[in-house]
Amino acid sequence: MSQVDNEVRPSNFIRNIIDEDLKSGKHTSVQTRFPPEPNGFLHIGHAKSICLNFGIAQDYQGQCNLRFDDTNPEKEDIDYVHSIQDDVRWLGFDWSGEIRYSSNYFDQLHQYAVELITKGLAYVCFLNAEETREYRGTLKEPGKNSPYRDTSVEENLALFEKMRLGEFKEGECALRAKIDMASPFMCMRDPVIYRIRFAHHHQTGDKWCIYPMYDFTHCISDAIENITHSLCTLEFQDNRRLYDWVLDHLDDFNQPNRTRQYEFSRLNLEYTLMSKRKLNDLVTNNLVNGWDDPRMPTIAGLRRRGYTPASIREFCQRIGVTKQENLIEGGVLDACIREELNENAPRAMAVLRPIKVVIENYPSATPETINAPMHPNKPEMGTRELAFGKELFIDAEDFRESANKHFKRLVLGKEVRLRNAYVIKAERFEHDDEGNVTTVYCTYDNETLGKNPSDGRKVKGVIHWVEASTAKPAEFRIYNRLFTDATPAAFDTIDEVINSESLVVLQGVAEAGLVNAEAEKAYQFEREGYFCADNKDSSKEHLVFNLTVPLRDSFA
Q: Known binding site for ATP: residues?
A: 37-39, 43-49, 233, 266-267, 274-276
User: Can you list the alpha helix ranges (DSSP code H) found in 25-104?
Assistant: 44-59, 78-90
* Cα–Cα dist 65/31, whole Å: 8
The length of the chain, given as a count of residues: 556
Strand, coil or helix: 155: helix
In order, the DSSP letters of 423-471 are: EEEEEEEEE-TTS-EEEEEEEEETT-TTS--TT------EE--EETTT-
User: Are 237 and 261 a contacting pair, CB within 8 Å?
Assistant: no
Q: Are 14 and 229 in contact (CB under 8 A)?
A: yes
Distance CA 427, CA 389 (A): 17
Active-site residue, selected from the candidate residues 9, 75, 241, 266: 266
- As a 3-state breakdown, the chain gives helix, strand, coil percent values, each rounded to 5, of 30, 25, 45
> Quick one: CA torsion of 215, 237, 235, 486, rounded to 10 degrees?
-160
434 is catalytic: no
> Is residue 295 among the annotated active site residues?
no
Active site residue 467: no
Packed helices 309-319 and 330-344: angle between N→C axes, nearest 10 degrees: 140
Annotated binding site: 37-39, 43-49, 69, 214, 233, 266-267, 274-276
Instruction: List beta partners, residue 205.
Output: 201
- Round to whole Å and give the CA distance between 376 and 508: 24
520: left (phi over 0), alpha (psi -120 to 50) or beta: left
Determine the Cα–Cα distance for residues 387 and 95; give it in Å rounded to an integer.
48
CA distance 228 to 518: 42
Cα distances (angstroms) measured from residue 253 to each of 237, 248, 537: 21, 7, 52
Q: Which residue among the candidates 67, 276, 417, 425 is catalytic per the annotation?
A: 276
Considering the candidates 9, 26, 37, 241, report the single residue annotated as catalytic: 37
Neighbours of 63 (CB within 10 A): 21
Classify burial at 173, counting beta carbons within 10 Å of its beta carbon; exposed 0-12, middle 13-18, buried 19 or more. buried
Residues 6 or more apart whose CB falls under 8 angstroms from that of 266 comprise: 45, 48, 233, 234, 235, 274, 325
**How far apart, in whole angstroms, are the C-alpha atoms of residue 136 and residue 130?**
10
- Residue type (1 letter), 147: P
Phi, psi of 440 (to 5 degrees): -115, 125
**What strands lie across the sheet with 174-177, from one edge to the other?**
122-125, 174-177, 192-196, 210-212
Beta 229-233 vs 260-264: how paired, if at all? parallel
Catalytically active residues, by annotation: 37, 266, 276
